[in-house]
Amino acid sequence: SQTIHQWPATLVQPVGSPLSLECTVEGTSNPNLYWYRQAAGRGLQLLFYSVGIGQISSEVPQNLSASRPQDRQFILSSKKLLLSDSGFYLCAWSVRGAHYESHDSPLHFGNGTRLTVT
């Protein structure tokens, strides 16, 4: 069965420090991968998604970046955190096959990382 791992669960970082959040998926190949952020009391904001190694689509311009060095690994990074980067960061995956399968494939979310920038 497929599983998604996201770590750490919680993180407290000072303003200006770097960030690296990692997400890995097991039990599937060629998944679509996603990073979402949820600020306190707000909805889910799509940050990045990837349909393959090295293929990253950015939805919101900001001081965050994403990379996909391996098929089932998705990394969210920042060189210098801002207070506004605080939030609940969620990684997700879905099946990627023929295009007519993608819309039928639900997203599977990890347990999230709660980031507090102080």
Partner 1 sequence: DAKTTQPNSMESNEEEPVHLPCNHSTISGTDYIHWYRQLPSQGPEYVIHGLTSNVNNRMASLAIAEDRKSSTLILHRATLRDAAVYYCILRAGTQGGSEKLVFGKGTKLTVNP
The bridge status of strand 10-13 relative to strand 19-26 is: unpaired
Site for partner 1 in 14-43 (CB under 8 A): 32, 34, 36, 42-43
Q: Does 49 bind partner 1 (CB under 8 A)?
A: yes
* Residue 62 interacts with partner 1 (CB under 8 A): yes or no: no
Binding-residue total with partner 1 (CB under 8 A) = 30
Among 5, 27, 30, 59, binds partner 1 (CB under 8 A): 59
Torsion angle (degrees, nearest 10) of CA 11, 15, 16, 17? -20
For residue 60, state whether it binds partner 1 (rule: CB under 8 A).
no
The rounded distance, in Å, linking the Cα atoms of 11 and 113 is 7
**Could you tell me the two tokens for 104?**
């039928």
* Residue 24 C-beta-side C-alpha neighbours within 13 Å: 6
What is the binding site for partner 1 (CB under 8 A)?
A: 32, 34, 36, 42-46, 49, 51, 57, 59, 88, 90, 92, 94, 96, 99-100, 102-104, 106-112, 114
